[in-house]
Structure 1
Amino acid sequence: MGIKSYTGKRVKEIPKEIPLKVSDYMTRDLITFSPDQSIEEVIEALIRHKISGGPVVNENNELIGIISEGDCIKHISDSRYYNLPMEHSKVELRMIKNVETIDGNMNIFDAAKMFLEVRRRRFPILENGKLVGQISQKDILKATMGIKGQNWK
């Protein structure tokens, strides 16, 4: 007599839909700066929060620029070279004003390609002209590692 299996009928597991959109992995809780903040305040915030930069927004939460560690270092270098006081410089004088953004509905692999082509560390994401999040290179890496666990072998 043969051995019977009591495990029941084996049904193939239907794979869950894997989130692949930028909005699924972007950071929504952002540290932002205002154009009238001093560069010293920005430097303190970058160090305190262990970040390399952040978006600059106006009072309506509309993106007007990005300030980075590199912008702050350039300010320090220029102020020391020209013997200028540091505390009077504002973010609006050092921020990058022409900011490239990406769509939250973009595929993360297309976003990864954009990071390689444009050579940026982060891209802000806007909805209806308002800043809603930001995706960084590290966010893309985290996303691909999560996907790898489900699909890549």
Structure 2
Amino acid sequence: MTSPKILVRDHMKSAAYTFAPTTSVEEVVKTLVKNKIIGAPVIDADKKLLGFITEQDCLKQILNDSYYCEDRQNAEDIMRSNPLSVSPNDDIMKLAENMTQKLPKIYPVVEEGRVIGLITRHEVLKALSLARVQVCSTK
């Protein structure tokens, strides 16, 4: 018996925090720290995904700024361009396999080129755990 396909759309969270390319790294850091998030999409005015910025990106930049006393940077200067993303109709099992290969811990969910949400390892693990309980309880 095969288990039903578990879709990203059923377990993703809204992209509550996004950044414009011109958002200062200082503002990005404040938002990430205040809201206890590890990263967020960088989007344009049409919500099109331009990149992704993480705590790690910010750490590198802050260290560099502190050491070299360089000018302040914006999100677009340090974001990861062409980030991996998923579709809301993607299978969580496939995403889970990708996540075991040390790929990102968090993925933007993109539909028709626009960011509509995020999915993290936490949501994927929770979805798989729930599915396992359901499948195993019917045996």
Output the TM-score relative to the length of structure 1. 0.81
Gaps of 5+ in 1: 1-16
Superposition map of 1:1-153 within 5 A: 20-85=6-71, 88-117=72-101, 119-152=103-136
Post-superposition CA distance 1:42-82 (Å, at most 9, x none): 11100111101100000110000000000000001111121
Instruction: Select the structure with the greater relative contact order (CA < 8 A; seq sep ≥ 6).
Output: 2
- The share of aligned pairs that are identical, in percent, is 30
Aligned residues: 135
Deviation of residue 103 (structure 1)?
Answer: 2.0
Q: Specify the structure having the higher radius of gyration (Cα).
A: 1
Output the TM-score relative to the length of structure 2. 0.89
Root-mean-square deviation (CA), in Å?
Answer: 1.7
Change (3 A) 1:111 1:77: same
2:57 aligned counterpart, secondary structure: helix
Q: Report the more deviating stretch, 28-37 or 63-72.
A: 28-37
Gaps of 5+ in 2: none
